[in-house]
A and B are shown apart, each in its own frame.
Chain A
Amino acid sequence: MVKPAVKESMKAASAEQVATAEQAAAEKAAEKKHPAPRAKIGSAEPKKTVSVTIDRCQVSVPENATILEAAKSAGINIPTLCYLKDLNEIGACRICIVEIEGIEQLVASCNNVVLDGMVIHTNSPRVREARKANLEFLLSRHSSNCTSCVRSGNCSLQSLSNQFGISELPYKVELGKTDWPQDFPLVRDANKCIHCLRCIQVCDHIQNVGVWDLSNRSSHTCVGVKGGAPITETGCTLCGQCITHCPTGALRERDDTDRVFNAIADPEKTVVVQIAPAVRAAWGESLGLSKEEATVERMATALRALGIDYVFDTSFAADLTIMEEGSEFLAKLGNANDASEKFPLFTSCCPGWVRYAKSKHPEIVDQLSSAKSPGQMFGAVAKSYFAEILDVDPKNMFVVEIMPCLAKKSEVAIPAMNDACGEPDVDISLTVREMNRMFNAACLDVASLEEGELDQPLGTYTGAGVIFGATGGVMEAALRTAHVIATGEDVEADAFKDVRGQDGWKEATFDMDGKPLRVAIAHGLANAEKLVTALNKGEVAYDFVEVMACPGGCVGGGGQPIHDGEELAEKRGEVLWDLDKKSKLRKSHLNPAIQAAYKDYLGEPLSHKAHKLLHTDHHSWQMPAEKKAAKQK
């Protein structure tokens, strides 16, 4: 995982020497961080296979395979509901139950292993009857208003219910009281919750945030905010992973599409849309588009068909972020001898991560890059630079961002994000799901639309801007440009590709002008937590760290289309890396639109104007934990 090698193409006075020293240091760090796991006593021998009979079909499967896996390998499909591989194998819904000869009770197939000679029936009358009964139990506590549910057509409970032919319930439907602040970006309907407990697991184990918990007991047991606290008082990062892992419509985003439709209908408003890099990798999934069809250019046409005036690309602003954040980083490096300069610099383009850091690690908030996220940079530039070009009153400009993200809904509402004209730089942040709902509401046959060019000048971008949407992408983009600025020497764009990949916590060391540059990337906040903990303990040391709240980066974002049981971040990420590979320009500073923006308007990176428009103070607003801490003081 640790890639200490110094790139050949890079300038290095004594590359070998550096490599050895770095290697030793890196290995030492790795040792501390990942102590070689002791082999457990009594560890099983290499896997043997066992022979089992499933539905009269004899199969040979590895010892310790679950019944579910064994059946799958035999081509037999066992329905599941609460099950989520590796994360939630708890046998709670009792839908995946099967019958085993010689055992009276039915057995959950998701978390019980096959034994040699086991005879399993996955579809016996008793199994069918019990499965159906459990579904009926769930439905008797479920608000089945499918006609007005955002997950209709993409709901595991609905499809199972259809599959089992449930047309009427033998039980009375009893629903509880629900109470949720509807203006919060994350909306929960307790009456659609089927207690699969996935949200708790994701929030605890993948994100280390712990918003959700079970409260109460017996028939009153419910999933909700831990301790019954209001959601607005928690450290919820709004990563949205609970939404994308919810099998039903119990969790969703606040729907802001009407506000966008209203702006479009308002003749006074110039409506400008920016599309985030990761959106192009996923938006077509739920619209039935192939990867080839689902281009950003086709999306542009669809958005124009809705009545949007200008369609731009957040990737442009990502290039701008690189200029600002990269310059900030180099300035910080130049200051490295000053003891008060604390390293590493953390990226700040992920609002979920910023919310997490502010809640859980106030000690590092000053090390977050002051550069705004690309979305916010875009808004500030649109309502200043572009408004001047158009000669419109920025107050009549309505900026919409299409994001793979839920936390962006809270970011656009940060009061200080109003640097262009005193009003919010970005008016509305929509998830990909909301954008697709708008297309549906407008009865667009997206597949039949021609591709269209993005508008200019904020629609020109480099491959470096596009990879912002995948883990490691911000770091790679930053290194591509920072290296040139620092050394004056151009290296190939792929020189920093060691930062790619799906490991939760990646490290690499590069040579920058003879000095080792230590970088790290974490995605998934539990991984970020490990990294920050190790940093705080002095077990590791880095110069620059990229953190993305969602596993896989924005491509795995909480605002992306939902596919129950599938983790698509890696596949979507490949789309972005592929687009980068095919780009003519792959370094942000080479983007002519960026060059023009600095020349004509912003001056230079970190200039006074750039500071006003493109940087922010992370202390200008507070998370609940910060408010609490301030109160205690």
Chain B
Amino acid sequence: MARLHVMERSEAQQVVDNLHSALESRLSVSSLAPCPVEFTAAYIAMCATQSCGKCTPCRVGLNNLHTLFNDVLENRATEETLDLIEKTARSIYLSADCAIGYEAANMALTAIQGFRDDFESHLKNHACNFNQSELVPCVSGCPAGVDIPGYISLVEAGRNTDAVRLIRKDNPLPLVCGYVCEHPCEMYCRRGMVDDPMNIRGLKRYAVDHMEEDYRPIMAEKTGKNVAIVGGGPAGLSAAYYLAIMGHDVTIFEARKHLGGMLRYGIPNYRLPRKLLDQEIQWILDCGIDVKLDHRVEDVQELRDNFDAVYMAIGAHGENQLGLEGEDAHGVISAVEMLRAIGDDIHPDFTGKKVCVIGGGNVAMDVARSSVRCGADKTTIVYRRRVADMTAQDEEIAGAREEGCELLELHAPVRIETKDGQVTGLVVQPQIIGGLKRGRPAPREAEAEEFTIPCDIVAVAIGQAIESDVFAEQGVPTKWNRIVAAEDGSVEGLPGLFAGGDCQSGPATVIRAVNAGKIAAGNIDEYLGFNHTISNDIELPPIQFKGKTSCARCEMVEREANERIEDFELVEKGLTDQEAHQEASRCLRCDHFGFGAFRGGRINQW
């Protein structure tokens, strides 16, 4: 008998490990619609399987807790049951010996305290508190509700123009979204349970890049009503498009030289080529939309007097200040300012310069990567939390790294050093990461000395502000500078005034702005006394059951980093024909299989 064994995994252990990773990927496919009580009950049962059985609270308590949850789900519970659940969970949480027990109980505590309403609903109505409205996971996950399985089937059938038409039923910016959408849909893609989620954005981009022909939308009869849109960003453009095809006369008032808002003044050319953006904007304007460029709206009342309805979509283009010593020095620039200049084709020359970018969001990445392209010698992204805590998308962070940006995590800017009014360095204080605060790990000062990063440029990318003061003075309700609008986009007390997009939600994504514009268009139409519907006029190919075949996801590839940093040209390459066809054929068609078959897989009109 040997004294020691080499650690070896048995076949059975291998299978268990596979189960583990299957569970992991299954859970990472967020489902929008499990009953919260049901989910927590299953979670607790799952946690209990990890109990070694040594200690009472974990061995017995978790099981008892699970039984109590089942009483709720099987309509045997009373108010006392809920109190008992809370008490039981607290006792396990406080007395378990290890994390297996106390973390499971903590989850139960969070649940009963966080959504007691859902428990009450089971008690009272013997039903969940929520509407079972999830038809198709990806569509439910898309803020604009784009018919994703529908257009994927059209791409598969080689009908890219039809795919674009179908997308435009819900989103008039398919090109923009094909290039830069954050694709929340993919997070919910059920294909993720099998292997990987679908590359939905890749397929959208493929469709717009490969349209067989252009087409024009069907325009409704002129209504004789006119609508003013303040701001030509994604929200304003979306509203303008739908209102125009509904037959209303639309005028967009844009404060800057060009339309596009953050699409132009926030997203650099290498992610979203200007030429293509201009094409998409022009396609929308060709619906007969009037544009007043370089026209900053200051007087809401005047617009309301001259138009039957007004939609405010001014975005969030203001700058946030650091409030640090030396911030007014020459060489300190705001992200908004820099990207805006680039948007107007004014590229700063950073040749031979060292740049520090402060921030950890997508904008910080955009600024850093643009700096590289503007010739910077060295670009350092300074962030007070960890890279893992950055809000920027992973691919943006990776892109910045590949292009040679330094990521200095856990360093908080303290002040800007200057000489003769010119930036010479950024003083930073090392941080140590700590516990969760409002869901995010909070950094605090580490026991280490501050030091200076020598630099010529400090770019501040710590979020954008909404320039709403001028409107607030005129009686437009605001809160934290955000314009306050109801769910339908209307602004209380000012009939005919609607608002949406970043200026209402705070800085968010393109697709959320599209949704805001779409909703505003529908409700403005109704406000004007009409009931136009935007409907699907595409016949979809019949659904074919293909069975389950294993096939991983095709990713889009990027140009080599050392080549792409020389210019502002597009970084990402689209899917090839072969890849797009294979990718499209992976779609599990949740519009037909599963719940979609019952409630109907699509909303054909809105």
Task: Write the residues of chain A forming the contact surface with B, with a CB cutoff of 8 angstroms.
Answer: 38, 40-44, 63-64, 89-92, 100, 102-105, 107, 111-113, 115, 176-177, 179, 197, 213-218, 220, 224, 227-229
* Closest-CB distance, B540 to chain A (whole angstroms): 8
B28-48 contacts to A (CB < 8 Å): 33-35, 38, 42
Q: A52 CA to B328 CA in the complex, in Å?
A: 77
CB-nearest residue of chain B to A215: B127
Residue numbers in B under 8 Å from A216 (CB-CB) = 35, 38, 73, 122, 127-128
CB within 8 Å for A217 and B539 given contacts A41-B165, A103-B547, A224-B127: no
Partner of B125, one of A103, A112, A177, A228: A228
CB within 8 Å for A227 and B547 given contacts A113-B542, A217-B34, A217-B35: no
Residue numbers in A under 8 Å from B605 (CB-CB) = none
**A-B interface pairs (CB < 8 A), number:** 91
Q: A214 CA to B593 CA in the complex, in Å?
A: 18
Q: Interface 1/0s, chain B 536-561, versus A by CB < 8 A?
A: 01111011111110000000000000
Partner of B128, one of A44, A100, A217: A217
Q: Could you show 7 A-B contacts with beta carbons less than 8 Å apart?
A: A64-B542, A104-B548, A111-B597, A176-B75, A217-B34, A218-B35, A220-B73
Partner of B38, one of A44, A107, A220: A220
Partner of A113, one of B159, B544, B597: B544
* Closest-CB distance, B91 to chain A (whole angstroms): 26
Residue numbers in B under 8 Å from A217 (CB-CB) = 33-35, 38, 128, 132
Q: A197 CA to B132 CA in the complex, in Å?
A: 14
Residue numbers in A under 8 Å from B66 (CB-CB) = none
The reply to whether B35 and A229 contact each other, CB–CB distance below 8 Å, is no
* Closest-CB distance, B156 to chain A (whole angstroms): 13
B579-606 contacts to A (CB < 8 Å): 592-593, 597-598
CB-nearest residue of chain B to A111: B597
Residue numbers in A under 8 Å from B76 (CB-CB) = 177
The reply to whether A41 and B128 contact each other, CB–CB distance below 8 Å, is no
CB-nearest residue of chain A to B33: A217
Chief secondary structure at chain A's binding surface: loop
Chief secondary structure at chain B's binding surface: loop
Q: A387 CA to B545 CA in the complex, in Å?
A: 68
Q: Please count how many residues in chain B sit with their CB below 8 Å of the partner chain's CB atoms.
A: 36
Q: A218 CA to B126 CA in the complex, in Å?
A: 14
The reply to whether B545 and A103 contact each other, CB–CB distance below 8 Å, is yes
* Closest-CB distance, B160 to chain A (whole angstroms): 12
CB-nearest residue of chain A to B540: A42
* Closest-CB distance, B37 to chain A (whole angstroms): 9
Residue of A89, A217, A224 with highest tally of chain B CB at under 10 A: A217
Q: A41 CA to B544 CA in the complex, in Å?
A: 20
Residue of B38, B154, B159 with highest tally of chain A CB at under 10 A: B38
CB within 8 Å for A220 and B74 given contacts A41-B162, A115-B544: yes
Q: A229 CA to B598 CA in the complex, in Å?
A: 22
Q: A179 CA to B127 CA in the complex, in Å?
A: 13
* Closest-CB distance, B445 to chain A (whole angstroms): 47
CB-nearest residue of chain A to B593: A91
CB within 8 Å for A91 and B127 given contacts A40-B539, A217-B35: no
CB-nearest residue of chain A to B535: A38
CB-nearest residue of chain B to A218: B38
Residue numbers in B under 8 Å from A43 (CB-CB) = 539
The reply to whether B73 and A105 contact each other, CB–CB distance below 8 Å, is no
Partner of A227, one of B42, B125, B162, B597: B125
B149-206 contacts to A (CB < 8 Å): 154, 159, 162, 165
CB-nearest residue of chain B to A112: B545
Residue numbers in B under 8 Å from A90 (CB-CB) = 597-598
CB within 8 Å for A100 and B545 given contacts A177-B74, A218-B35: yes
The reply to whether B545 and A107 contact each other, CB–CB distance below 8 Å, is yes
Residue numbers in A under 8 Å from B593 (CB-CB) = 91
What are the nearest 9 A-B pairs in CB distance?
A228-B125, A103-B547, A228-B127, A215-B127, A40-B539, A217-B35, A90-B597, A43-B539, A42-B539
